[in-house]
Amino acid sequence: MSTHQLGLPPTTVLFLKPTHLNAVVDAIIANAKRSLLFPLAWRHKLAGIFEGFFTKESLWDRLVFDNARNAAFGEDAASIRAVVVSEGTVPASLLTPARIALSIPLVLAHTHPLVAAPILASHPQDVQTFAVTSAQDFAHVGPPTVNVEVKLAGVDDGAVERGDDPEGVLLVRGPIVGRVLPLTEADEEPKTEDTEEPWVSIGNRARVQTNGAFKAWTTAKA
């Protein structure tokens, strides 16, 4: 990182893509494994996650993970306070290793160029751990954020009645949702007296879990 060379304040929040998160976690764990105490440190950190908390001030951080983070982040390792991941799905199998390796609040967000803020975002202190059903399973991105409404269209009611989670096309509306400008006059929608904001499809699908968190993914360009 070049912040010190340019005289800038140290990095406090990292905004990453899923591929970057995977690379960072792999680098931290690879460096941590060089310590003979790594297996013991990993078990203690994992137990903390299962009990619902994480910290980077523990004995195991000082003995094992601090040096590993310094090797991955350089001088900014101590100043980083949170990580936000968006622009793609995060493998569910990566979530727990990421929480152990980073030991700071990790936010997973679902974004779209048409929307001025995250549509969905997980809570920074959320450390819920779910069983990974397959290698293709990916982590949830939390509930809807502020100033946006979401709904699912095309939900299979029969599947829901059988106990499956609702899944459908993700529609959004609200002050943070932009409007697609027509290319020609023929593309313009007729004006109506209805003042209610229209629902906008952004080319995504989503599934709602029983805890209110969404899993969302891109299906096509909006």
Strands 120-121, 167-173: parallel, antiparallel or unpaired by DSSP?
Answer: unpaired
Residue 189 predicted with pLDDT over 90: no
Fold of the domain built from segment(s) 149-218: Luciferase; domain 3 (2.30.38)
Predicted TM-score (pTM) of the model is: 0.86
CA gap 46, 50 in Å, rounded: 6
> Residue 27: pLDDT band by 50, 70, 90 thresholds?
very high
* Domain boundaries, given as residue ranges, for the chain: 13-104, 149-218
pLDDT digits (tens, 9 = 90+) for 59-108: 999 999 999 999 999 888 989 999 999 999 999 999 999 999 999 999 99
pLDDT digits (tens, 9 = 90+) for 99-141: 999 999 999 999 999 999 999 999 999 988 887 877 778 999 9
Residue 3 predicted with pLDDT over 90: no
pLDDT score, position 4: 59
CA gap 80, 59 in Å, rounded: 19
Half-sphere exposure of 5 (CA within 13 A, CB side): 3
**Across 188-211, average pLDDT:** 80
Strands 167-173, 149-153: parallel, antiparallel or unpaired by DSSP?
Answer: antiparallel
